[in-house]
Amino acid sequence: MKLYYTPYDIAVFLIATNFTRSDERAVLKDIWKNNSIPIPDIYQHDEITFRKKVNFEIAKFDGVLGDIDELNILLKDTEHSLSVENTIDERSIIESYFKIIKLELTYIYNKDCRKIKLRRLLKAFGYKRRSPQLVANVQRALNALGLKTYLKGYVPCDIAKINIDDMVIIRLK
């Protein structure tokens, strides 16, 4: 399964990183030209349309979100409104969460991993405990995006089996 990055996903990443305008352009060019991050077919043949759509998504945030803290509050509110019955929304939020992590690991200089306690990761999706459905959705997103989970010392781990207070390290495969 291949997950595509929407202009919205890319816009959220660019806003969160606070890149300069020239850095944003370089990232967008790399994504479009080198296909380093898979984008929907509709944008693969027209760079101008792709850039315009990403810039439109950024403009929607402009003036509404002044800094990264407000963005985190918005994302937190969205994540906590999930319910187990709402699988489609939950799955897309989980995928978006890990898409942003992959973009960080790909485009932020000297960032080769993302560390998070399993308990905090579960809480980000509105859970206190692991459910088989949540673990499956997280694993599906990680696999589709080419991300791998580790414990300290590069020990590969399965989030279904580790201690809830363990620090999970997410890296590119």
pLDDT of residue 65: 43
The domain limits of the chain are: 1-81
- Mean pLDDT, all residues of the chain: 83
With a pLDDT cut of 90, the percent of the chain lying above it is 48
Given a contact cutoff of 8 angstroms between Cβ atoms, the answer to whether 171 and 145 are in contact is no
Calpha distance 103→111 (Å, rounded): 10
Using H for helix, E for strand and C for coil, what is the string for 15-80? HHHCCCHHHHHHHHHHHHHHCCCCCCHHHHCCHHHHHHHHHHHHHHHCCCCCCHHHHHHHHHHHHH
pLDDT tens digit string along 26-64?
A: 999 999 988 778 999 889 888 999 998 898 888 877 654
Q: Which helix (H) or strand (E) holds 7?
A: helix 7-17
**DSSP secondary-structure letter at 122?**
H
Half-sphere exposure of 40 (CA within 13 A, CB side): 11
Name the phi and psi angles at 156, rounded to 5: -60, 145
Of 65-69, 126-130, 146-150, highest mean pLDDT:
146-150
Model confidence pTM above 0.95: no
